[in-house]
Amino acid sequence: MLTPKVAVAVCTLLTLTYVDAITDEQGPLGRLSTAVINAAGLLTRLVPRYPNQQGYTKEENEFDFIIVGSGPSGAALANRLSEEKDWKILLLEAGDEASPITEVPFLCGALEFSKYNWGYKAEKMDGFCKGCIDGRMEWPHGKALGGSTIINYMIYVRGNRLDYDRWESMGNPGWSYKDIFPYFLKSEDAHITQTVKDAGYHEKGGYLGVSDVPFRSGAVDAFVQAAQEAGYPFVDYNGKSQIGVSYVQTNTKDGRRVSSESAFLRPIRHRKNLVIRTGSHATKVLIEPRSKKAYGVEYVRNGKKYKALARKEVIISAGGLNSPQLLMLSGIGPKRHLQKVGIPVIKDLPVGEKMYDHATFVGLTFTVNQSIVHKIQDYVTSPESYAAFLKRGAGPFTQIGGVEALTYIKTNASDDPDPTFPDVELIFIGGALSTDAGVVYRRLFNIPRRTYDVLWKPLEGKPAFQVYPMLFHPKSTGYIKLRSRNPLEPPKFYPNYFSDLENHDIKTMIAAIREVQRIVKSPGLQKFGAQIVDTPIPGCEQHAFNSDEYWECGLRSLIGSLYHQVATCKMGPAEDKEAVVDARLRVHGTKGLRVADTSVIPLPVTAHTAEPAYVVGEKGADLIKQDWGVL
């Protein structure tokens, strides 16, 4: 029988076999591995979970609300709005229903090579990624029913109290921490047993599974101990206070990925008033030019053009990169830019002109003298791994790409007056880029083979771990432009990392690198002879190892992103020259049109952005219900 469980088993085995064999950037085996993940998607055609949702009759073409995009925000909206039985909802999603293989947490890195990723790259710029292949970064973004939560790392972080309070103080009433907190609990179905859980901060019974990872390396225990010895309390970072160390809390349940699809859509897929159309790429929001009222969406499915009409509203939840694109394609954006690419201007707004992201450094590696780190080869070849996963949702396949602990620190480079507001997150990985022999993770960061061969190849087979410092509140900002008026062409992304004039972002990252070294010197890790790898990063040999100049060179050479792009359709009052939507998520100067997803988040959050995106969806649904008088 082709049950999902059998499918998961077969596909995991096949995928790992092939992924393991990938040798280089574009090798034939690499393509084969991608083909296997994609082919697994065909299984969903045999046993589709959404069999009755693709109806295309004429009568079905008018809806009350049309939502574009099924990531955390769009899925939460589709769920909550369709609670109103009298409202008819259309959810449009460019990607397909994802195969069960995506629910294996262990595969999260490899999924970036599948069809569930839009496959974007950032533009080449000075100042970062100098050592990357072609100087360009991969900028994955999810393309599936479930959006980026189909391919993301499942890290669950709500953010700091101050994040939300600052959104409110920027002129966005209703978005303070006090206002938002109930939505964290409303969504949550917490099954946290191994990390601390602050009383009153977690809830059971919501749609969104939250659990810790049942399988850990010995290295993470040593790191968590070392961090405490260095002065960090063991905390619930989703509780009272963030600063401190903790094992990671994740969007998983029974050892499997929880996506916005499995959490918010699957349980309600039989609702009669919710129509879900996958493989449907929205190309334009239809807006009446004089009244500026949105009345529908144009979309392409299997190469054919369709139109759907919205009696009440169109809500764009296409994510931090695609929502600004769709707005611009529809005539809403910076006037000069739209004119340049030949799009008639409906409303001049600063869409895509500001973009924050969370950058990280992937070049900080430590060795230990005992095998306390993850051993991928052993996991993949041991039948027990498969059995544990399939029978109990346990074992090594439940780990989320090696991310095991998070430490929230405030470096001595911080200029923020609030002592409870972390400026960097230290992401502990229970292995190194060498752990998978440079097969998957090296490629995610576009690190050339020759750099890998210098820095990580000598570590293959030896126990090593990495710590990625992630910059929470960058002063550098990027922007997005359309490549052309062709809606099927990817936009141009200019991240602009490490470009702020005072060099504050670099200084903060250097301070974080030094703080990591201080933690590693604590007894908990020295017990294992933990030592920094001091092989010079190629291109930085001229600087003394561990000098500020050395780390600046390294930071500008090797970089990763956590793909938390925000503020591209920034929320703020009409007086705010950077604002695109108001505090009720309505696009300024238009009617019947909202944006609800990470793109409205006005400042980079002290979090990973999935949970903030769920909250924007939950809160957005209540705003809409209030505005239509049903709440």
Ligand X SMILES: *[C@@H]1O[C@H](CO)[C@@H](O)[C@H](O)[C@H]1NC(C)=O
Ligand Y SMILES: Cc1cc2nc3c(=O)[nH]c(=O)nc-3n(C[C@H](O)[C@H](O)[C@H](O)COP(=O)(O)OP(=O)(O)OC[C@H]3O[C@@H](n4cnc5c(N)ncnc54)[C@H](O)[C@@H]3O)c2cc1C
319 binds, among ligand Y, ligand X, none (CB under 5 to 8 A by kind): ligand Y
478 binds, among ligand X, ligand Y, none (CB under 5 to 8 A by kind): none
Chain positions 403 to 442 lying near ligand X, rule: CB under 6 A, are 412
Joined tokens for residue 165: 């309070």
- Residue whose CB is less far from ligand Y, 319 or 350: 319
Helix (H, G, I), strand (E, B) or coil at 317: coil
Nearest CA-CA partner of 597 in 208, 72, 157, 117:
72
Binding mask 255-294 for ligand Y (x = CB under 6 A): --------------------------xx------------
**374 assigned to active site:** no
Binding segment (CB under 6 A) for ligand Y, from list 32-40, 50-58, 185-193, 605-613: 605-613
Binding segment (CB under 6 A) for ligand X, from list 182-190, 257-265, 512-520, 613-621: 512-520
Binding segment (CB under 6 A) for ligand Y, from list 17-25, 538-546, 582-590, 609-617: 609-617
- Residue whose CB is less far from ligand Y, 8 or 318: 318
93 binds, among ligand Y, ligand X, none (CB under 5 to 8 A by kind): ligand Y
Chain positions 55 to 94 lying near ligand Y, rule: CB under 6 A, are 68-74, 92-94
- Residue whose CB is less far from ligand X, 318 or 424: 424
- Residue whose CB is less far from ligand Y, 190 or 553: 190
Chain positions 568 to 597 lying near ligand Y, rule: CB under 6 A, are 597
Tally of CB atoms within 10 A around 151: 28
Residues whose CB falls within 8 Å of the CB of residue 491, separated by 6 or more in sequence, listed in order: 321, 324, 325, 352, 480, 481, 482, 483
**608 assigned to active site:** yes
Binding segment (CB under 6 A) for ligand Y, from list 145-153, 221-229, 386-394, 447-455: 145-153
Report the Cα 237 to chain-centroid distance in Å.
Answer: 18
Nearest CA-CA partner of 92 in 66, 116, 117:
66
Q: Give the CB-nearest residue to ligand X.
A: 529
Residues whose CB falls within 8 Å of the CB of residue 484, separated by 6 or more in sequence, listed in order: 341
222 binds, among ligand Y, ligand X, none (CB under 5 to 8 A by kind): none
Cα torsion 509, 510, 514, 517 to 10°: value is 70
- Residue whose CB is less far from ligand X, 86 or 502: 502
Decide if residue 509 touches ligand X (CB under 6 A): no
For the chain, give percent helix, strand, coil, nearest 5: 35, 20, 45
370 binds, among ligand X, ligand Y, none (CB under 5 to 8 A by kind): ligand X
Helix (H, G, I), strand (E, B) or coil at 98: coil
Task: Report the alpha-carbon angle 309-592-480, nearest 5.
Answer: 95
With 0-12 CB in 10 A as exposed, 13-18 as middle and 19+ as buried, what is 302? exposed
Chain positions 289 to 348 lying near ligand Y, rule: CB under 6 A, are 317-320, 322, 326
412 binds, among ligand X, ligand Y, none (CB under 5 to 8 A by kind): ligand X
Chain positions 474 to 533 lying near ligand Y, rule: CB under 6 A, are none
| Integer Cα distance of 177 and 168 in angstroms | 9
Residues in the interface with ligand Y (CB under 6 A) total 42
Joined tokens for residue 103: 């629910």
Look up tokens 């077969």; give the residue: 10
Nearest CA-CA partner of 36 in 52, 16, 15:
15
Binding mask 96-125 for ligand Y (x = CB under 6 A): ----------------x-------------
**Strand ranges, E, within 368-519:** 403-409, 424-429, 464-471, 479-481, 492-494
Q: Give the CB-nearest residue to ligand Y.
A: 71
- Residue whose CB is less far from ligand X, 151 or 513: 513
**Which member of 141, 202, 564, 588 is catalytic?**
564
- Residue whose CB is less far from ligand X, 228 or 526: 526
Decide if residue 143 touches ligand Y (CB under 6 A): yes
Decide if residue 153 touches ligand Y (CB under 6 A): yes
Nearest CA-CA partner of 77 in 317, 349, 391:
317
- Residue whose CB is less far from ligand X, 529 or 573: 529
In one letter, which amino acid is 454? V
Decide if residue 518 touches ligand X (CB under 6 A): yes
Decide if residue 529 touches ligand X (CB under 6 A): yes
CB contact at 8 A, 276 and 91 = yes
Binding segment (CB under 6 A) for ligand X, from list 169-177, 524-532, 538-546, 560-568: 524-532
Nearest CA-CA partner of 314 in 288, 341, 290, 350:
288
State the minimum distance, in angstroms, from the CB of residue 516 to ligand X. Answer: 8
State the minimum distance, in angstroms, from the CB of residue 396 to ligand X. Answer: 23
Q: What is the CA radius of gyration of the chain?
A: 23
Residues whose CB falls within 8 Å of the CB of residue 97, separated by 6 or more in sequence, listed in order: 41, 44, 48, 49, 50, 144, 145, 261, 278
| Integer Cα distance of 441 and 494 in angstroms | 23
CB contact at 8 A, 579 and 571 = yes
Task: Report the alpha-carbon angle 400-405-409, nearest 5.
Answer: 135
Decide if residue 484 touches ligand X (CB under 6 A): no
**Interstrand relation of 89-92 and 62-68 (parallel, antiparallel or unpaired):** parallel
Chain positions 364 to 383 lying near ligand X, rule: CB under 6 A, are 369-370
Please give the residue ranges that form the binding site for ligand Y (CB under 6 A): 68-74, 92-95, 112, 140-144, 147-149, 151-155, 281-282, 317-320, 322, 326, 563-564, 597-598, 608-611, 613
Would you please indicate which residues are annotated as catalytic (active-site) residues? Answer: 564, 608
- Give contact residues for ligand X (rule: CB under 6 A): 369-370, 412, 511, 514-515, 518, 526, 528-529
